[in-house]
Structure 1
Amino acid sequence: MGNLFCCVQVEQSTVAIKENFGRFEKVLQPGCHCMPWFLGKQLAGHLSLRLQQLDLRCETKTKDNVFVTVVASIQYRALAEKANDAFYKLSNTKTQIQAYVFDVIRASVPKLNLDDAFEQKNEIARAVEEELEKAMSAYGYEIVQTLIVDIDPDEHVKRAMNEINAAARLRVAANEKAEAEKILLIKRAEGEAESKYLSGLGIARQRQAIVDGLRDSVLGFSVNVPGTTAKDVMDMVLVTQYFDTMKEIGAASKSSAVFIPHGPGAVRDVATQIRDGLLQASHQ
């Protein structure tokens, strides 16, 4: 019906190419246009101005000889002011873009190791975008955005990378655990040393107090009981302490002790036996 009345309609975000006897005449903007076909006017076709996206998968290898698949997304659109170039100069836009993308990726990625390729995805995308922008602007297209969506190595390589990462983390964990155990042992040893030091101080003070008490007892007894010697007083004190010790051992319900030799019928020799026992213990 439109051809019958010499009218054509151009949709929004689209331009149309008008020809006159097969020669380009003008670009028709969205709206209704007169197209007198009997005067040689005709519509060559339509060109979309909408943003388009092309997803590509390019296989290449890195500097350390690992084959990877690089997934790129190219966002582009035709320029309204260069619609005639975009319509006439390229027969297959997507194929042309793909050729440039593959060329840049296969020139950039082989210069990088696998780890560096992951870290420099933005640099690869920028290189692709610059090359595409320079090439496609001559054909009436604008490159809006170039994204390196993914770098996918072989499955065996990914498994090996995961194992390396896991081993490194286990090594760090083992070092941290060993360091913690080392600190625990050091602190425990320091605590035991401090405990033994304080215990030694206590024993030394206890023995000093016993010696001071015995000295005071000997001196007091010698003054109050004339004719007694220091040896007599010491014998009596030793016997008294001996029986006090025997009493404490007997009062304990579950006690085991190794004591100096003792004969029940020779109580008067207890002091001698105590001294003999002390001497035996010191020799052993």
Structure 2
Amino acid sequence: MSVLLIPILFLLLVTLFLSFFTVKQQSAAIIERFGKFLSIRHSGLQMKIPFIDRVAGRMSLKIQQLDVIVETKTLDDVFVRLKISVQFKVIQEKVYDAFYKLDYAHDQITSYVFDVVRAEVPKMKLDDVFVKKDDIAIAVKMELNDAMSDYGYDIIKTLVTDIDPDAQVKEAMNRINASEREKIAAQFEGDAQRILIVEKAKAEAESKRLQGQGIADQRREIARGLEESVEVLNRVGINSQEASALIVVTQHYDTLQSLGEETNSNLILLPNSPQTGSNMLNDMVASFVASNQIGEAMKEGKKNPKNLE
């Protein structure tokens, strides 16, 4: 009797063990009875009839990601490789459709991605592919949502994560970008040089203006000093012409004196004979007298026109 009891107890333990199973969080188990769908079980401790019911499969309800690399040609005949990342998950209410209607979800999604990308990218030039990559991702998402929702899958997001043109095309693009940057740099350098030239010209003009103003002030002061000198000489009985001649002769000798004080000077003042000052004074007085005579004659001619005839 005891010999038969042991196998019975063992069979009961095995049956009890096979009657219970667990389902992990964010997953679902599909139960079949004699090969026919029975129910869907979610997370927790679950029970089934051993040897009659079986767990046909388990499906994750988490978000999954599939990376698809598509090689295609753009409108300007450039071959480019795009990496499309598709984030999707099984809809909890449609686990039956996801399990029984579709065997290879990844292959199905990949096929739709290829179809959409190879339909959209050939309409764009290479530069537009980079600019409008979000439009490509949206087009892929819309197509996948329409197709995969019937199979119990929800497309969360699609991303164009990489755009890789042919190596020769990338090299040409880099050369173009480098040329554009060099062109911009040259323009900035030219602008800087132009600004420097303009500012330098302005500085020189301002310097010349100040220099001219200084010379004008200097001459004004010299003229004022000469005027005061003539007035002093007039007070002692020397007329303006004689005073002017005397001032010129005085400046002549002052110049000779200053040249004599400069031991390293190579300047020679001509004429520099001893009688130069006297000759200069006589010439100036004679020229003043002659100019006065001419002036008086012109005045008489205006008063008596017949004398001119």
Q: Tell me if the contact between 2:245 and 2:284 (Cα under 8 Å) persists in the aligned partners.
A: no
Question: Which amino acid letter does the alignment assign opposite residue 85 of structure 1?
Answer: D
Structure 2 residue aligned with 1:127 = 139
| Structure with max Cα Rg | 2
Equivalent of 2:249 in 239, 243, 266: 239
5+ long unaligned stretches in structure 2:
1-10, 286-309
8 Å contact kept, 2:89–2:156: yes
- Provide, for residues 139-193 of structure 1, a one-character-per-residue CA deviation record: whole Å limited to 9, x for no partner: 1111122111111112222222222222222222222222222222222222222
* 3-state SS, counterpart of residue 271 of structure 2: coil
Say whether 1:36 aligns with 2:46: no
Q: Flag the 1:224–1:273 CA change in 2: closer, same or farther, 3 A.
A: closer
Shift of 1:87: 1.0
User: How far is the alpha carbon of 1:265 from its aligned partner?
Assistant: 5.8
Aligned mate of 1:26, from 39, 42, 46: 39
Q: What TM-score, normalized by structure 1, do the two folds share? A: 0.83
> CA separation in 2, counterparts of 1:250 and 1:37?
135
Match of 1:144 among 145, 156, 181: 156
SS at match of 1:236: helix
Cα deviation code 1:97-131 (max 9, x no counterpart): 00011111111222222222212222211111111
Q: Which of 182, 201, 204 is matched with 1:189 structurally?
A: 201
For normalisation by structure 2, the TM-score amounts to: 0.77
Q: Report if the CA contact (8 A) 2:74-2:80 is conserved.
A: yes
Q: 1:54-78: per-residue Cα shift (whole Å, max 9, x none)?
A: 1111111222222111111111111
8 Å CA contact 1:3–1:37 kept in 2: the answer is no
More helix by share: 2
Contact 1:61 1:110 in 2 (8 A): yes
- Match of residue 16, structure 1, among 29, 38, 55: 29
Moved more, 101-110 or 161-170: 161-170
The answer on whether the counterparts of 2:116 and 2:143 sit within 8 Å (CA) in structure 1 is yes
1:263 Cα shift? 2.2
Q: CA RMSD in A?
A: 2.8
- The aligned amino acid for 1:20 is R
- Larger deviation: 164-173 or 86-95? 164-173
Partner of 1:200: 212
Q: What amino acid is the match of 2:34?
A: F
Aligned to 2:273, the other structure's residue is in SS state coil
Cα separation, partners in 2 of 1:41 and 1:214, compared to 1, 3 Å: closer
1:10-39 deviation digits (Å, cap 9, x = unpaired): 33132222222222121122334333345x
User: 1:282 maps to what in 2?
Assistant: none
When residues 240 and 149 of structure 1 are mapped into structure 2, their CA distance, relative to the original with a 3 A threshold, is: same
What is the alpha-carbon distance in structure 1 between the residues aligned to residue 23 and residue 263 of structure 2?
A: 108
- Describe the SS at the equivalent of 2:76: coil
**Residue identity matched to 1:14:** S
Amino acid aligned to 1:244: D
* Number of corresponding residues: 272
Is residue 2:282 matched to residue 1:269? no
Contact 2:23 2:46 in 1 (8 A): no
Residue 181 of structure 2: aligned partner = 169
